[in-house]
Amino acid sequence: MTEADEAASHWNGKVLRLIGARENRVYEMALGSGRAALRLHRTAYRTEAAIRAEVDWCAALAEAGLPVAGPVATLAGERVVRLSTGRLASVTSWVDGVPLGANGEPLAQPTGAQIELHRRLGHLLARIHDATDSSPPHPFARPVWDIDGLTGEAPLWGRFWEHPAATDADRAALRDARAFLRQGLMSLTTLDFGPIHADVLRENVLVGEDTLSLIDFDDCGMGYRLYDLGTALVQNEYEPARDDLRDALVAGYASLRPADAATVDLMTLARGCASVGWTMPRLAGDDPVNARHIARAVRMARRMTG
């Protein structure tokens, strides 16, 4: 019996297909009540307490009516199970829709539709933060996306300014970016801080006929609330309407909570740099994604630091 089949048995489900294999292995699974997403969590990446904290937060958001993938309990009423191999597994409800876009590709929608989707996304993120503040998750044993988590000596995703695939000029630009980010974040002493998704990439935003949903809370943690907007914008660096998309996202968020373009630009740079660090332990040195992430972060850094 495979790990996926063993996990599915706890929900009396049937594994249909593998749909993702990044940090976790994610499968489409059939249940008596319909489709669901089975996650086999990457070993040693998150503690059991951290996974339970993520799942419980998503449950609270779903119960509050937010369009997120809520957890599905096992036949025994558990939200997380440990397999015979030691791997942890969980299941979320199935969310219909197509991704907002694909990494490394231009947005396919007409510019007006892109702008409206970003306005709606900003509004959705504000609703999620509002709902979270109304009933804060506790305990919340998750990563902390603060100034040190993003730019400290040991950032959560690695020392991006030392990427081995970067040129000397690239590393210099990334060091400048790190210093610029630290100074900027230290100056924002009253910045809103709390539970965040921390990975609002295009592939995690599902667009339905009349809905916009958010999936994959695997990197959620405590952090700057506007970092969620930065993660939503980082893949738009090469979009012709980049600034218009940012302004729409900020406007959607600001309809409920404070936001400004300058701070969101700072958070977008922070995510661009963090993504460079993310590649180091995960990708081969000659993987073209390394060069793309480095080039994007360097372009952003040079534009913002002068």
User: What does the pLDDT read at residue 306?
Assistant: 79
CB atoms within 10 A of CB 75: 10
pLDDT of residue 23: 82
Which of 95, 114, 145 is the endpoint of a domain? 95
| Same domain as 208, residue 85 | no
Please tell me whether residues 67 and 155 are part of one structural domain: no
Q: For residues 89 and 242, give the distance between their C-alpha atoms in angstroms, rounded to a whole number.
A: 38
- Which tokens in the block code for residue 118? 């970003």
In a shared domain, residues 162 and 225: yes
CA distance 269 to 93: 33
DSSP one-letter string for 198-240: ----GGGEEE-SS-EEE---TT-EEEETTHHHHHHHGGGTT-T
Same domain, 77 and 217: no
**18 and 153 both lie in a single domain:** no
Q: Assess whether 78 and 110 both reside in one domain.
A: no
What's the pLDDT score for residue 232? 98
Which pairs from 169-173 meet CB under 8 Å and 24+ separation? Answer: 170/294, 170/298, 173/297, 173/298, 173/301, 173/302, 173/305
Task: Give the total number of structural domains in the chain.
Answer: 2
CATH number for 48: 3.30.200.20
If asked whether residues 73 and 110 sit together in one domain, one would say no
Per-residue confidence (pLDDT) for residue 273, from 0 to 100: 98
Indicate if 41 and 155 belong to the same structural domain.
Answer: no
Together in a domain, 125 and 71? no
Pair 67, 129 in one domain: no
One domain, residues 36 and 116: no
- For residue 71 the two structure tokens come to 């957890």
| CATH assignment at residue 243 | 3.90.1200.10
Calculated CA dihedral for residues 90, 41, 23, 191, nearest 10 degrees: 70
Sign of CA dihedral 119, 100, 129, 194: negative
pLDDT digits (tens, 9 = 90+) for 186-203: 999 899 999 999 999 999
Which residues lie below 8 Å from residue 141, measured CB to CB, with a gap of 6+?
A: 47, 49, 50, 53
pLDDT digit of tens for each residue in the chain (306 aa)? 899 999 999 999 999 999 988 889 999 999 999 999 999 999 989 999 999 999 999 999 999 999 999 999 999 999 999 999 999 999 999 999 999 998 889 998 999 999 999 999 999 999 999 999 999 999 899 999 999 999 999 999 999 999 999 999 999 999 999 999 999 999 998 999 999 999 999 999 999 988 999 999 999 999 999 999 999 999 999 999 999 999 999 999 999 999 999 999 999 999 999 999 999 999 998 899 999 999 999 999 999 997
Chosen domain end from 42, 65, 95: 95
Q: What is the pLDDT of residue 89?
A: 98
Domain finish residue from 44, 68, 95: 95
Same domain? For 43 and 82 the reply is yes
**What domain range is 291 assigned to?**
99-305
Q: What is the pLDDT of residues 272-296, one digit of tens each?
A: 999 999 999 999 988 999 999 999 9
